[in-house]
A and B are shown apart, each in its own frame.
Chain A
């Protein structure tokens, strides 16, 4: 079961891609998707406490369930304007 992961700014640069497909297990959560990424790219770890997440372009807590085909976005601290 894959989800589409979106990464921005510093997160995108660490991973080297803004969009990637990651497999998830049944009954997975946003947090599980994040832990999988962090295991593959340990440089992401410091971002954990300051992350905001969105599922299908709606803000979502780390505990939110994710399903096959969902778009899961991880947003580092913002700096618009």
Chain B
């Protein structure tokens, strides 16, 4: 089984993460005597070739690995507060990625589609808010770090915002 949460310099194995998530939900369902996996949502973020009108050659990602993995654990726990009995697995790539390569994979598994879609969307919104990963865009005419959200994992507003995007 693949680890549930990882930061890795290796190409992401989408199929392996999906299989792990499904297996984990099967185990959880047996343990809790509830319905097993019935819906698997796989989100794959890939390097986009054009961003805000500029051609992107590649993206270079770096992470603070221990805290990034801890953020994935936190996101899964936060998801569990609203959506019980779902399984989330998250792997994020670091290093230099070409256009089209997966940078993040989220496998969300639940008994039914509603819960699986919800935790999948919640996870990617929350990753963008709190996970210590940074990307540097390599454009045709130079490179620069993309600076998104200031991390404040305990702030209630971003958390509420992530849920509002999840369940509009």
Contact = CB atoms under 8 A, between A and B. Distances in A.
Interface of A: 6, 8-10, 12-13, 50-52, 54, 57, 59, 73, 75-81
A8 B104 contact: no
17 contacts: A8-B62, A13-B145, A52-B151, A57-B66, A57-B67, A57-B70, A76-B134, A77-B147, A78-B129, A78-B151, A79-B133, A79-B148, A80-B127, A80-B132, A80-B133, A81-B104, A81-B128
A64 to B, nearest CB: 14
B153 A9 contact: no
B21 interface: no
Interface of B: 45, 61-64, 66-68, 70, 92, 103-104, 124, 127-136, 145-154
Name A's interface SS: mixed
Contacts, number: 83
Contacts of A59: 67, 151, 153-154
Given A52-B152, A73-B64, A78 B124 contact: no
Nearest to B144: A10
B62 A78 contact: no
Name B's interface SS: mixed
B145 A10 contact: yes
Nearest to A75: B132
A6 B133 CA distance: 14
A77 B130 CA distance: 9
Contacts of A75: 64, 67, 132, 151
Given A57-B66, A80-B131, A81-B133, 16 more contacts: A8-B132, A9-B62, A9-B136, A10-B145, A50-B147, A52-B152, A57-B70, A75-B64, A76-B134, A76-B145, A78-B132, A78-B151, A79-B133, A79-B147, A80-B61, A80-B134
